[in-house]
Structure 1
Amino acid sequence: MNKEHFLIELKIYLKPLNSQQQALILNKYETIFEERLAEGDTEEQIAKSLGKPRGIAEEILQEFDISVPEKRIERDGWQEIQPVVNNDYYYEEELEHPYEDPYRSYERPHHNGFTRFCQIAGVLSFNFLFMFWIIFAFIMVFFAFWLVGVVFLFSPILGGISVFTGFNDGAMFQLFASIFLSGAGIVGLLILTPLTKFFGKCLQRYLQWNVRVLRGEV
């Protein structure tokens, strides 16, 4: 089950709620999909981890003291749901088509040929003339810092070699200096690790945005 099918089925089971309540809940789960997609999960993995839409909807409807009886599956594959509502709850009749209201935002926008050409040309030009060099510079900076941090981390090996090859004041100074550099390397790597992960996530989201633009989803 992908994101679109998950949200459609959830909307169907949430029909006893009014449109505003449905929109808030659906926006919440759409945000969950977007965040986890940015982290590298697939739509199928996210939907499987969230659970069945009917179970989610039943838990939500219980908070409103609403029960949804099981109904047979119609020929078109959609399940008919007739809500049972208590006397003090107002039920707002909704349109039957699952793509109405908030689901219209999931449809891919339609652009003419000239607009698509401008989008693709603009994105490619912007990346080649500007973003490519910035991303390349950041990658080189991170690579240099990681290289220096690793060298600092293993610097006591060189200090130990200098002590064993010739024990003197200069060798001892090199050993203590290498130990200090090793500590600085550990601290530097601890700082670089979250920064590198953050840069990777930003780069991943930017690449996903480029793919969406090139596919005409924006």
Structure 2
Amino acid sequence: MIELTSLCVFCGARPGANPDMVDTARRLGTAIGQAGKTLVFGGGRVGLMGELARATAAAGGHVAGFIPEHLERIEVADETLPELHVVPDMHTRKLGMFERADAFCVLPGGLGTLDETFEILTWRQLRLHDKPIALLNVGGYWDPLLSLVERIIAEGFAHADNRRLFTVIDSPEAVIPTLAAELAVQSPEAAPPPGHDARALG
């Protein structure tokens, strides 16, 4: 059985226009901290990233940030973190977060969040990993993405099993138990979900 000890969260470096997004980031951070888990994130003090990290720390969780040198000022690297990795570039950042995490959760965000999300989904599709991935669908934020995935499948550019690459969750409090349950049924040598082969690629 694999235990969930660390969760990587992709999210915006801006707070967004909807206050519910900030509230959700704080609630997720609180849930991570109260569960005694480690938050792995982008290392910034601004936007949803900062809210998430502060809530995690306030609730007693460990926080590990990864930030590339060129974004230290833009995303305002949080020098107070107990674990902050300043890395050379975006690729190193994403690889570092991947290696440090047991599972992934995606909060609302912009193009950078989409970049991280599609990469980790594609790596799972390619059978490079089988770590659980959750989309936290605050206020239906990810509904257009879910519709796009359905369109891609309907048009024959992806296998229907690609729906199983991620889990859609509506409540931040449900993230930890849901992902922990997914990991618990895997063995350390777990094979990817059935149907994940070269034919699933698009």
TM-score bucket of the superposed structures, by smaller chain? under 0.3
TM-score, scaled relative to structure 1: 0.22
Higher helix share: 1
* Structure with greater proportional strand content: 2
- Structure label with greater radius of gyration: 1
